[in-house]
Each structure stands twice: as C-alpha cells, then as structure tokens.
Amino acid sequence: MDIIKLGLWMGKHLSLTSGHRLARLAGSTIALAQNSSLMLAIKANQWVASEESLNRKQLVQLSRQVMQNDVLALFDFFYYYHRIEECKQRVRLSPNFQQILTEGKDQHQPQILVGPHLGAFDLMGLLVVKLGLPVVILSYPNPKGTYKTQNKIREDAGMRVLPINLSAFREAKQALKHGESLVTGIDRPIESNQEVKYQPIFFGRPAPLPTFYVRMALDSGATVRVVYGVAQTDDTFFLESSAPIALEKRDDLKEEYILNAEKVLKETEKVIIKYPDQWSMFYPIWPEVIPQIKQLK
C-alpha cells in the first residue's frame, strides 16, 4: 500500500492518542539509523544552525526528537484531514497571521508566504485553505511516487499545487495578480548539477536555496512574510507570521537577489532557532559539513 494512503487510513481509524504513540515509536525507530543519509542530513543542518556548537551526543538526541516530531506532525495531518472542524478548534492564530487571512480574503494585496519546513507545514497549508484563504502552492519539481500522491491530497483539500517549473512561475504570477496568496518552502536546497546562481548567507554559510520569490514580489508588489505552524504540548497548534518584509530594488541583479533573500532568511533563522526540534529539513543544505559531523566527539 502507498505510504500516503496508509497514513490516510490510519488517520481515519486511529484515535489521536494511539496515533501519537505509534508515531513516536516509528520516529524513534527511524532515528536508530544514525548514519543513514536522512539522519546525517538532519544532523548537518542542525549543527550549522546551532553555530556548530552541538556535540555528537546532543546531535543524536536532537535528531531523534526531530524525527519523532516529524512523524507526529505527519499523523496529525492525516488525522485532521478527516476532522477539519475539530482541527479548527485546536488552532490559535497570532495577530500577524490573522492579518494574512484578512488581507488574503479581500484579494486586494498580493501575498507571498514563505516558510521553513517545520513539522506542521502541511497542516498549516490545509488550515489556511479551510479558513478561507485562496492559495497557490509552489512545490517540489517533477514529483513522482509519494510526492505525486501528496500533491493529489493537497489538491483534494482545496489547495492549488504547482510543481516548480517555468510554466508554474508564469501561472503563479497570474495568481498573484488575481489576489491569490502564494505559498512555498524556503529551506529546501536546490538540486542541480550546475552551480547555483545565487547563494545567500543562511546561518553564516552560503546556501543553495531558492530566491525566485524576490523577483516575483518586486514585480507584483506582493508583501513577503515568513510563516510557520508549530505543535504545542497540549495537542493544539500555533500559526505565526513575521511582519511584512520590505524588499529593496538594486541596479545590480545579483545584489538585489542576495540582499533580499538574506532579509527573508534572517527571519527564517529566528524561527528555526526557536523551534529546532520541529525543523524537518531532510536534505543537507551544507553537505560539505557531513564529514565533520561524522568526526564529532
């Protein structure tokens, strides 16, 4: 059975308590393979984000928490996918996030909402649609297998999903003109055999992260905010947003992209520093540090 279909079945038939118990066990089991590419990526990202301060034992403990929280968030998404009204009762919105919904529903001011992959990223997307915000999601390019199924579920929930390509960029620009809000992840490294054109500084190191939203925002006049959703210890969720980030135009295109992307990434850093155990980035942003991770004491 496809893992997404299995998750949907479990979300429909398991209680929240049983599902969480199973999710913690599954996360702990996955985390046992500390030398897998998945766990090494988590540890490398967390090590850089900690200002390279964590030792081997601390990274093992944190990576286990990350994996447990990610599987918990995955089960929450599947559980509340079938119980959206119950989910609405468990969510709390910050004033900044409430402003996003108000402005987005008016459809007068285009919005670009970018965020790190914290555990509740997908549940946040589901919630904003159900709370009445028309959104377009720019997602992983050329989706296959699980990614394709995941996008189908998002679309069934009311989200418009566009895997990233030139056509998707054109469609996204039109969506902004029509008052829809654009949502995309900001912390997944670009997979390319060629040198990435722009590498803004993220946690003190150049990072091959997407910067396309800079040009989209400057061309459309859209506001840019960093958004995120986090699970609370009482099984509720908190949706938060930064204030709008003022982007600046420059004559030099590279300077323009780097300057503005780093403004946005500075806000993203604050979120990750506050909730490191919910940062579910499973691809190494800085693969060059993995050998150092393996040698930590």
pLDDT in tens, 36-51: 999 999 999 999 999 9
pLDDT-derived band at 165, boundaries 50, 70, 90: confident
When pLDDT is averaged across residues 179-203 and rounded to a whole number, the result is: 87
More confident of the two residues 157 and 67:
67
pLDDT at 35 over 80: yes
When pLDDT is averaged across residues 214-219 and rounded to a whole number, the result is: 94
Identify each DSSP E strand in 212-258 by its residue range: 223-231, 237-241
* Domains of the chain (ranges, CATH numbers): 3-294 (3.40.1130)
Q: Which residue type sits at 194? A: Q
When pLDDT is averaged across residues 222-235 and rounded to a whole number, the result is: 93
pLDDT at 180 over 90: no
pTM of the complete model beyond 0.75: yes
Burial class of 278 by CB neighbour count within 10 A (0 to 12, 13 to 18, 19+): buried
pLDDT-derived band at 194, boundaries 50, 70, 90: low
pLDDT at 144 over 70: no
What's the mean per-residue pLDDT of the chain?
91
pLDDT at 111 over 70: yes
pLDDT of residue 2: 72
When pLDDT is averaged across residues 247-261 and rounded to a whole number, the result is: 96
Other CB atoms within a 10 A radius of the CB of residue 13 amount to: 11
> Residue 162 is inside which H or E element, if any?
strand 160-163
Residue pointed to by tokens 């150092």: 292
More confident of the two residues 134 and 280:
280
pLDDT at 1 over 80: no
Question: What separation, in Å, do the N-terminal and C-terminal C-alpha atoms of the chain show?
Answer: 41
pLDDT-derived band at 3, boundaries 50, 70, 90: confident
pLDDT of residue 258: 96
pLDDT of residue 6: 85
When pLDDT is averaged across residues 225-250 and rounded to a whole number, the result is: 94
Other CB atoms within a 10 A radius of the CB of residue 15 amount to: 9
pLDDT in tens, 60-92: 999 999 999 999 999 999 999 999 999 999 999
pLDDT at 193 over 70: no
Rounded to 10 degrees, the C-alpha dihedral 210/216/222/223 comes to 20
Other CB atoms within a 10 A radius of the CB of residue 139 amount to: 20
pLDDT of residue 278: 96
pLDDT at 156 over 80: no
Contact predicate 278/37, CB 8 Å: no
pLDDT of residue 147: 67
